[in-house]
Structure 1
């Protein structure tokens, strides 16, 4: 493999990681902001209150997005193995 091929594989891996983690990160961000807004409006300043809704929302999102995430990772692995087998 040439250095350009290695950079292509690395770029593909980084893009795959971003796409796989994006749904979970976005849901965690939205739920965190929503709970923080409720805490600010009600003046309840409990630090552990944000974790339970965030965990439940991320778990539900993971269950829904798992086929999408698996397809992305399988596609990335297929492309990497094709490059390795073909020698570039």
Structure 2
């Protein structure tokens, strides 16, 4: 395998990892900032108040974007990885 092919495949894999994780990380960031702002305004310092809504929001986004994630990974493997393994 050529070095350029290896680095290009690694670059594509990292970009796909960023695309797949972006929806969940964005929702976690928004939920964390919102809950942190609520805690600062109300002086409520409960640990479960930050954890439970953030995990719930991330589960909902994961469930909604699961088809996008799986289609992206399957497309990457069928167009890039499997042909490299087969040697074509």
Task: Decide: shared fold, TM above 0.5.
Answer: yes
The equivalent of 2:85 in structure 1 is 84
Structure 2: runs of 5 or more not aligned: none
TM-score by length of 1: 0.91
Higher relative contact order (CA 8 A, sep 6+): 1
TM-score by length of 2: 0.91
Deviation at 1:86, TM superposition (A): 3.9
SS in 1 for 2:44: coil
Deviation at 1:21, TM superposition (A): 0.6
The equivalent of 1:30 in structure 2 is 30
User: In 2, Cα distance between the equivalents of 1:14 and 1:55?
Assistant: 24
1:1-88 paired onto structure 2 within 5 Å: 1-78=1-78, 79-87=80-88
User: In 2, Cα distance between the equivalents of 1:57 and 1:65?
Assistant: 12
CA RMSD of aligned residues (A): 1.1
Runs of 4+ residues deviating >4 angstroms? none
Structure 1: runs of 5 or more not aligned: none
Deviation at 1:48, TM superposition (A): 2.8
User: In 1, Cα distance between the equivalents of 2:25 and 2:73?
Assistant: 17
